Amino acid sequence: MTDMLRILCNTCGTSGREDAVRDTIVSLIDGFCDYKIDPLGNIIAFKKGKKTPKKRIMLDAHMDEVGFIATYINEQGLISFSSVGGINTECILSQRVIFENGTVGVIGSKPMHLLSADARKKLPETDSLYIDIGAASGEEAKKIISPGDTAVFYPKFLEQDSIIASKAIDDRAGCAILISLLREDSEYDFYATFTVQEEIGSRGAATAAFAVEPDYCLCLESTTASDIEGVSGARRVCELGQGPVISFMDRGTLYDRELFDLANGISMPHQVKSMVAGGNNSAAIHKSRGGVKTLAVSVPCRYLHSASCMSSLDDIKGAYDMAKAMLQKLGEAEND
């Protein structure tokens, strides 16, 4: 799965610009399932299993990653931007970014020696930052970049023993798990949705769930791990190396108790998220049509929404095992 993760994480596609990611996923699932692409850009796939469960099962992972959108180019050729999705300012200072057309830039700010003593003690406001592509003037920059063009953190996938660090582990890890499930034989039929625009409010998941009409859904996601120096107890949320994470509640969803108990009872290493925090596509999916029983199975990830998210390959494999076991149990439960 590592090679697949490297390909997916190094592919660029922020919310609303998932084309390259979608093309990559299609190339990896073609021939293993039936699929279509809806008007919003979601991939909706169907995997035929050996048996058809009485109730419809859907697994979801989102294709988009956080990024940036150009808003204005000044006379010096510096590009103002807004974030696409939630990105903390400290994560973007001096980072390299790459635009859709391959142009690379650096996120810059006022030099330290020009700041007042008080200003040096604070993070700059995001709207004071800019992307520098090395253009000599605004006229030159406008020949290369236009307002509305998007960029993401520059790809730099790293594998070190059982740890990977990369942009976009949220949620290319979920995509890799879902692709792996589609590429192998399944005991039960299921739908797989690779959805767009999660980082700006689960727009794609809402339309995909409406189309599929599932009874059950598993969201395959990444979630914040705060197992770092100076953080203890519940505030750690989850930890790398301790297995996939299931949640009883987050800021968008009160998860189905039946599915939570079913997953929590599976005899494999896993952990329960220790805070009510974050959110994912479950928020839109569980409210679709007449309601969907929903659970998130997440990969612990340090430094989420940064250029160097960090996760454990063992946890990603564990999330795959959990999703596969849940798919089997949901199929069996409805066929007894």
Residue 169: partners with Cβ closer than 8 Å, 6 or more residues away: 5, 9, 222, 299, 301, 304, 309, 310, 311
Which one, of 54, 68, 73, 75, lies nearest residue 17 by Cα? 68
Is 198 among the catalytic positions? yes
Rg (CA), the chain: 21
The CB density around residue 65, as the number of other CB atoms within 10 Å, is: 28
CB burial of 270-290 (b: ≥16 within 10 Å; e: otherwise) equals bbebbbebbbbbbbbbbebee
Answer for the pair 176, 8: CB distance below 8 angstroms, yes or no: yes
Catalytic residue among 18, 198, 199, 221: 198
Which one, of 320, 223, 335, lies nearest residue 278 by Cα? 223
Catalytic machinery residues: 198
